[in-house]
Amino acid sequence: MRRTPLAAAAVLAAALALPTAQSVARASAAPDPQARAAQVKPRSDAWEARVLKLTNARRKAHGVKPLKASPCADRLAESWTRHMARTQVLEHQSLDPFFDCRNVSSAGENIAYGYETPRALVSAWMHSPGHRANILSRHFHRIGVSGWRATNGQTYATQDFLG
């Protein structure tokens, strides 16, 4: 799926992205999808742990209990973020599978691309009302975090929340 200016505007309403010249170049010369999929790389566990640590620091500063890492939410975040990096399309996944995790009554998701450091990523989410609401929600108790680097060098990131 190629991104058009209208589609990009719709995506920005739901997720954060840095504008880049690469998105214009991608529209005119899309690489082979199989080659692109073979070259995406996960961000390190330390990178993802830093996102969680910074997220919990923001929650603490606002009097909200910290989130605990969830293997189920982590699997959902990991597979979806890898998919976005492979396709270079920023879009939310269905929340329906989240309710297959144990003891889930609420769910949410933050996605973004173009933020290379955990600090820049969490800061951007905290400056967006919808993303901030997910991070600070008292309904969420568990989280999965994932980051993948696409072949164009952009980092795609996901936070999946369970309550």
- State the Cα angle at 132 between 20 and 151, rounded to 5°: 30
Following DSSP, what letter does each residue of 39-96 receive, concatenated?
A: H-EEPPHHHHHHHHHHHHHHHHHTT-PPPEE-HHHHHHHHHHHHHHHHHT---PPPSG
Amino acid, single-letter form, for residue 89:
V
Q: Is 162's pLDDT higher than 50?
A: yes
Nearest-angstrom CA–CA distance, 162 and 141:
6
Q: Please report, for residues 73, 101, 126, the alpha-carbon distance to residue 95 in angstroms, rounded to integers and kept in the order given.
A: 11, 11, 21
Q: 18 or 140: whose pLDDT is higher?
A: 140
Which tens digits make up the pLDDT trace of 67-125? 999 999 999 999 999 999 999 999 999 999 999 999 999 999 999 999 999 999 999 99
Instruction: Look up the pTM and report it.
Output: 0.79
Which tens digits make up the pLDDT trace of 11-70? 333 344 443 333 333 333 445 555 555 689 999 999 999 999 999 999 999 999 999 999
Backbone φ and ψ for 119, nearest 5 degrees, come out as: -65, -45
Q: Is 158's pLDDT higher than 50?
A: yes
Mean pLDDT value of segment 131-140: 98
Nearest-angstrom CA–CA distance, 103 and 43:
29
Query: pLDDT at position 113, please?
Result: 97
Q: How far does the chain reach from its first CA to its final CA, in angstroms?
A: 32
Tokens of 116: 């290379």
Q: How confident is the model at residue 10 (pLDDT cuts 50, 70, 90)?
A: very low
